[in-house]
Structure 1
Amino acid sequence: MSAEPAFHTPPETIAVDGVELRYRRGGSGEPVLFLGGAEFTRRWLPFFAELAGAVELIVPEGPGFGETEAPPWLDGHDDLVLFYRDVLDAFGLADVHLVGYSLGGWIAAELAVFYPRRLRSLTLVAPQGLRVPGVPRADLFLVSHAARAELIFNGAAGRYQDYLSEGDEQETFFRSYAASRAEALLAWNPRYDRKLDRRLAAVRCPALVLAAEEDRVVPRPHAERYAELLPQGRLEVVAGGEEPTAHGLLAQEPAAVAAAIAEFVAASAPPNPS
């Protein structure tokens, strides 16, 4: 039996495209699908609990991450775009509020480009996926697991071990290796979508881009560029309390991030039929 991390809750399972997709679900109200990155899997985070107090939140663990196995067809970010289209169908969601964090922000942006009618709103949190000349993102493939954690939390990873540990040292190593392998399939080469900046004009829904104050993984100009390119995009910087927010802002300021998303979702919801 594998070790369990802090905030762990048993996942539910739904079959999509031959994948036994693990997911967690909570709350009621406007439907929100959250696409995460390589970090913070196998957990119902305090951030999720906060957000589920205002919406119906569905949090799948993407193929190759957490407790969802990587299928043999996973070879690039475009595979995930098609997969998440089918995930929407599997959950019976004709349209949805889509939230993406880090790598999941990239996938969410791509999904919004190719299936704009399926989205009520789009929220990107510290998103990857764009090339910003002169402002590269950190190369997480060249650093150790420990160094990666320090980049995510700007040198303060020791304060967030509940978010980083998978329960014991062996399980942490195994899970981080599996996640790195899946991440490499999606974002090794290229590490951004060369066409995404031009294609973002196709996004039709309201869009919110949340940025950290001092993001050492995906510097703030990447979020700023997304906000500029999205037709209805706007940027909001999430401020920290005791320290400036970092790429791990979901762990640092869960209530503030959840409140910003909940407010935006409420403002973007379709009117109730009279």
Structure 2
Amino acid sequence: MQKSQVEEKRITINGIGINYKIAGKGPALLILHGWGRGSDSWEAVQVRLAQQGYRVLVPDLPGFGKTEAPKSVWGVKEYADFILQFAEMLRLHRFILFGHSFGGQVAVWFAAAHPEKLEKLILVAPAAIRKEPGPRENVIKYVAKAGSIVLSLIPSEKIQGFLRKVFTRIIGRSDYLEAGEIKRKIMQKVIREDLSELFSHISTNTLLLWGEKDRPVPIEDAYVIKRQLPNSSLKIIPGAGHRIHREAPEQVAAAVLLFLRA
């Protein structure tokens, strides 16, 4: 299967235009991308899984890719509710749910709330547990907030571009500075949500997949979550970081297929 065989489609849910990609035939597998990304970033994995007999759907979550942003400030619950509506509109009665980072956070909520919908669950470095922020996190938060204020006060696009690069280099990410007001507020909300208490309520057979060198969601989180999930297994990809699907798509697809066929 080539990338050209991945279809791009569009539907409307509650007045929001939703873009999604679909490939393959067989059991439905729904992939939820992480923050700052869209369906495009998962195409290499999508194609590999579709080639092995799965119908793989990857939506651009509201506010990402080609999908419109929500009209109000959503939290993880609202994104999980959206996934339920998306699944119902596409008549996905039972399916495999696969979430990465922020998408994994949404998948955790969905799995706890709607276990009857899931065949299996795959969580790739889900950003679902929170710790007390350290000095570095507090500095990043301050610089990101200050940066967005400074950029809004400068009319020159050239100077804005230069300062955006400076702030991005300091905080290590550009998604906060580049987001609109609603999306910034959504980000502020979801990064404070700790879903630790939900893991013990998830009974679905679950694969935890992690990059050995993941920094945004460190490998220590994998062991914490593994202890709390009663029906889970853990696979670590050596040498991979947080963008595991871009760095090691073959290994990600192989680990997922091994889990699904077990």
The alpha-carbon deviation at position 174 of structure 1 amounts to 9.9
Contact 1:98 1:108 in 2 (8 A): yes
- Is 1:13 the counterpart of 2:10? The answer is yes
Q: Partners in 2 of 1:188 and 1:198 — Cα distance?
A: 20
Contact 2:95 2:117 in 1 (8 A): yes
The alpha-carbon deviation at position 120 of structure 1 amounts to 0.8
Contact 1:77 1:187 in 2 (8 A): no
- Cα 1:176/1:95, change in 2 over 3 Å: farther
The alpha-carbon deviation at position 265 of structure 1 amounts to 2.1
Q: Partners in 2 of 1:176 and 1:33 — Cα distance?
A: 29
- Is 1:51 the counterpart of 2:49? The answer is yes
- Aligned partner of 1:260 in structure 2 is 255
Contact 1:36 1:100 in 2 (8 A): yes
The runs of 5 or more residues in structure 2 that have no matched partner are 145-163
The structure whose residues are more often helix, as a share, is 2
Contact 1:214 1:246 in 2 (8 A): yes
- Cα 1:28/1:176, change in 2 over 3 Å: farther
Q: Partners in 1 of 2:135 and 2:229 — Cα distance?
A: 20
Output aligned runs, 1:176-191, within 5 Å. Answer: 177-178=178-179, 184-189=184-189, 191=191
* Larger-Rg structure: 2
Output aligned runs, 1:150-161, within 5 Å. Answer: none
Contact 2:7 2:23 in 1 (8 A): no
- Aligned partner of 1:247 in structure 2 is 242
What SS is found at the alignment partner of 1:11?
Answer: strand
Q: Partners in 2 of 1:175 and 1:134 — Cα distance?
A: 18
- Aligned partner of 1:62 in structure 2 is 61
The alpha-carbon deviation at position 105 of structure 1 amounts to 0.5
The alpha-carbon deviation at position 258 of structure 1 amounts to 0.9
The alpha-carbon deviation at position 189 of structure 1 amounts to 3.5
The runs of 5 or more residues in structure 1 that have no matched partner are 1-6, 153-172, 268-274
The alpha-carbon deviation at position 218 of structure 1 amounts to 1.1
The alpha-carbon deviation at position 45 of structure 1 amounts to 2.2
Contact 1:99 1:105 in 2 (8 A): yes
Once structures 1 and 2 are overlaid, which stretch shifts more, 101-110 or 224-233?
A: 224-233
- Aligned partner of 1:85 in structure 2 is 84
- Aligned partner of 2:156 in structure 1 is none
The alpha-carbon deviation at position 204 of structure 1 amounts to 1.8
The alpha-carbon deviation at position 145 of structure 1 amounts to 6.8
- Cα 1:266/1:184, change in 2 over 3 Å: farther
What SS is found at the alignment partner of 1:58?
Answer: strand
- Aligned partner of 1:110 in structure 2 is 109
- What is the aligned residue count? 235
The alpha-carbon deviation at position 223 of structure 1 amounts to 2.2
What SS is found at the alignment partner of 2:186?
Answer: helix
Q: Tell which has more relative contact order, 1 or 2 (C-alpha 8 A, sep 6+).
A: 1
- Extract structure 1 runs of 4+ deviating beyond 3 A: 7-10, 132-148, 173-176, 180-187
Q: TM-score scaled to structure 1, two decimals?
A: 0.75
- Structure 2 counterpart of 1:45, one-letter code: E
The alpha-carbon deviation at position 52 of structure 1 amounts to 1.6
Q: Partners in 1 of 2:247 and 2:99 — Cα distance?
A: 17
Contact 1:151 1:217 in 2 (8 A): no
- Is 1:26 the counterpart of 2:23? The answer is yes
- Structure 1 counterpart of 2:14, one-letter code: D
Q: Partners in 1 of 2:62 and 2:135 — Cα distance?
A: 26
Q: Partners in 1 of 2:136 and 2:121 — Cα distance?
A: 22
- Cα 1:202/1:66, change in 2 over 3 Å: same
Output aligned runs, 1:229-240, within 5 Å. Answer: 229-239=228-238
The alpha-carbon deviation at position 40 of structure 1 amounts to 4.0
- Cα 1:56/1:10, change in 2 over 3 Å: closer
